Amino acid sequence: MSTRKTNVELKSDREVIITRVFAAPARLVWEAMSKPEYVRRWYGLKILDCAVCEIDHRVGGRWRFVLRAPDGSEHAFSGEYREIVASKRVVYTENYEPLGPGHEIVVTATFEERDGHTRLTSYLLYKSQARSRRPPAVRDGDGRQRVSRPSRRTAGHPHLKRQWPKQLGRGKLRTRKRPIAHGRAELLR
């Protein structure tokens, strides 16, 4: 698997699998996903700022991210950690707060390291087909999307300043358009 592509697969009406390989050890990828100072650099759509990034990274601990749009509107996501095995696996809930309770998805993320690269697999389980709101990338063909490197012309744009931590290489963070209730960022090289 290439370190430059994110694969999105619709496994069923309730299950989405997102896979990405990073040219970095699992320890660094884990830190980038579990420490607020790193998460705020990459989480959310490129036109939004991560105004709030709170993480209590322990079983039973809560997390909350608030994304602020240029017009001042805010989009809050939150959840609770259910299982944590450092640099290996994390299971947590995720909810778009305006929908209220009962709309959570369960995310199981695994980190597999091999030869200095880490494969991050995020398995998303929705409560029902109606809640899954299929990501646009999954609507065509075989349910997979290959995403290419962001244009270098956009490098100076103020909303594209979020960087994946330098220890993880040259990759930049970007998201693709999908229903806001989904709330998952894609990491691109």
Helix/strand/coil (H/E/C) assignment for every residue in 4-62: CCEEEEECCCCEEEEEEEECCCHHHHHHHHHCHHHHHHHCCCCCCEEEEEEECCCCCCE
Q: Which domains does the chain have, with CATH numbers?
A: 6-168 (3.30.530.20)
Assess contact for 89 and 109: CB atoms under 8 A.
yes
Q: Is the pLDDT of residue 4 over 70?
A: no
pLDDT in tens, 31-63: 999 999 999 998 888 899 999 999 999 999 999
Q: Could you read off the pLDDT of 126-164 as tens digits, one per residue? A: 988 754 544 433 333 333 333 333 333 333 333 334 444
